[in-house]
Amino acid sequence: MLGKIAPGFDQPLDVLLACHGRFEKQCATLEKLLVHLRDHGSDAEAQQAARNILNYFDTAAVHHHDDEERNLFPLLERAGQGEWCEVVELLTGEHDDLAQLWRILRPPLQAISQGETVVLNANHTERFIALNRSHIAFENARVLPLARQILSAADLQSLGRAMAARRGVNYPTSA
C-alpha cells in the first residue's frame, strides 16, 4: 500500500541498484516523449516530461556516475587486485559517451520544457536510451553482484558515506 521504501546510504549497492531503476524510468519517458512530440508537439505534457528528464539527468544521474567513478570503481579495483581495471575503463568510457550524448540532447529538451517547438533527434535519443539500458544491464548483472562479494563492510560504509556526502545528507547512524 505504501510502496517500497528506498534503501538508505548504509546500503550503498542497493541505492545504486534503485538508481538504475530510475534511469530506466527516465529512459522510458524519453522514449514516449519522442512519439508524443510527433503527435502533440511541445504541449504541457511534453513540457513536464522534458522537465522531469532534465532534472534527473542533470542531477541524480551526475551524482550516480560520480558515485561509481570516484568511489565504487576504485574500491573494486583495489579489492579485485587490478583485475577490474579493464571493466572500469569500459564503464567509465560509457559514462563519457553518455555525457556526450546528453550534451547533445539537453538543449532541445530544455527548449521543449519551455514550450518551444523543436525536433528531438531520434538517432541521438535512441542511442542515449540504448546505451543507458545496456550499461545498466551490465552493472546489474555483473558489477553489483560481484561488488557484494568482494567489498568489505568498511568499503561499503566508505562508499555509502561518500554517496550521502555528495548529496548533502547525513549518513544513517546506528541506534
| Three cell numbers written together for 164 | 550521502
Q: What is the pLDDT of residue 1?
A: 44
Instruction: Supply the pLDDT for residue 63.
Output: 96
Whole-number Å distance between alpha carbons of 50 and 114: 9
pLDDT digits (tens, 9 = 90+) for 71-105: 999 999 988 767 788 899 999 999 999 999 999 99
Return d(Cα 128, Cα 6) in angstroms, integer: 26
Contacts of 56 (CB under 8 A, 6+ apart): 22, 26
Q: What is the pTM of this model?
A: 0.91
Express each pLDDT in 14-29 by its tens digit. 999 999 999 999 999 9
Amino acid at 134: S
Contact call for residues 168 and 20 (beta carbons, < 8 A): no
Which regions in the chain score pLDDT beneath 70?
A: 1-5, 81, 174-175
Distance from C-alpha of 164 to C-alpha of 8, rounded to nearest angstrom? 9
